[in-house]
Structure 1
Amino acid sequence: MRVLFLGTHTPKLDDKGRMVLPAKYRPHLERGLVITRGQENCLYVYAQEEFERQAMQWQSTPTTNRKVRDYQRLFLSGAYDEVPDRQGRVTIPQMLRDYAGLSTECTVIGAGNRLEVWDTARWTDYLAAAEEDYSTQSEEVVPGLM
């Protein structure tokens, strides 16, 4: 079953690097998830099934292309599989917390087929910088959208 993740939530990381997943997402992630490096120094969180679907698509990409190899290496070498505990918590490995600059305050956004985990200050800065472009780019990004 494919899921569409939407919305913005602000969970906190505890001192053990655990984050409580927003309740609305838990049913889609309870069988397992994968956390990995995202772009713009956030983390991507995929349901296990979606991550496997993405990885299978890569099987058809040309590993003779250096950019493909570089992307796959960074994406997959930072991937950690997790199963949420009974309270809906997942542990974010230290290496990924360092990559994303996560401390206590986090912002989790729904981004379609994945969640993104951002340091809240970094998300606020990103949002402010991207807002002007967002308001003028809908036709360029998705023709016929508006």
Structure 2
Amino acid sequence: MFFGTYTPKLDDKGRLFLPAKFREELAEGLVVTRGQERCLTIWSLEDFARLTERLQQAPMTVKGTRDYVRMLFAAASQEVPDKQGRISIPPVLRQYASLDRDVVVIGSMNRIEIWDPTSWAEYSEQQEQVFSDLSDEVFPGA
């Protein structure tokens, strides 16, 4: 499980130091791809395989399914962290998420998201009230 917020930097080659707390779970490899709201998403190989299985069950006759699969897989990159815990973020993904040097890395249950700091700050601010309001919807009767 991934949680927490971290602020590593990309190096000159576009590599990201994974937060130390995330490294063991991702040591065998991971997939980094587009996420929603212009962030990047990192999945363990196991969780990405489960996601793939679910998508294979979705009807490809539905345009939305085809569109989603194309966008998710076209930019996906399988990576294995090096001995220092770094992974490469391909240029197409850095461009998609407007990543330069500073980034925000958040744990989001079974995945990790990588954000441009300004985008994350704006998103967080916009979602603060929504987060409060959603607790009743997510946990009815709690």
Q: TM-score range by the shorter chain?
A: over 0.9
What does 1:37-52 align with in structure 2 at a 5 Å threshold?
37-52=34-49
In 1, Cα distance between equivalents of 2:48 and 2:133 = 32
134-143 or 70-79, larger mean C-alpha shift: 134-143
Alignment partner of 1:101 out of 81, 98, 103: 98
What does 1:4-15 align with in structure 2 at a 5 Å threshold?
4-15=1-12
Q: Which amino acid aligns with 1:117?
A: I
SS in 2 for 1:44: strand
For these two proteins, the number of residue pairs brought into alignment is 142
Query: What TM-score does the superposition give when structure 1 sets the normalisation length?
Result: 0.94
Structure 2 unaligned blocks of 5 or more: none
Q: Which amino acid aligns with 1:82?
A: E
Cα offset, 1:81, TM superposition: 0.2
Hey, what does 1:25 align to over in structure 2? 22
Cα offset, 1:142, TM superposition: 3.6
Q: State the percentage of identical aligned residues.
A: 49
In 1, Cα distance between equivalents of 2:75 and 2:105 = 19
What does 1:51-90 align with in structure 2 at a 5 Å threshold?
51-90=48-87
Alignment partner of 2:133 out of 132, 136, 140: 136
In 1, Cα distance between equivalents of 2:13 and 2:112 = 21
In 1, Cα distance between equivalents of 2:8 and 2:57 = 37
**Deviations 1:17-73, CA, capped at 9 Å, x for gaps:** 001000000000010000000000000000111101110111111000000110010
Query: What TM-score does the superposition give when structure 2 sets the normalisation length?
Result: 0.97
Cα offset, 1:75, TM superposition: 0.5
* Runs of at least 4 residues off by over 4 Å: none
Alignment partner of 1:120 out of 117, 121, 139: 117
In 1, Cα distance between equivalents of 2:136 and 2:108 = 19
Flag the structure with higher helix content: 2
Pairwise CA RMSD? 0.9
Q: Which amino acid aligns with 2:114?
A: V
Q: Which amino acid aligns with 1:23?
A: A
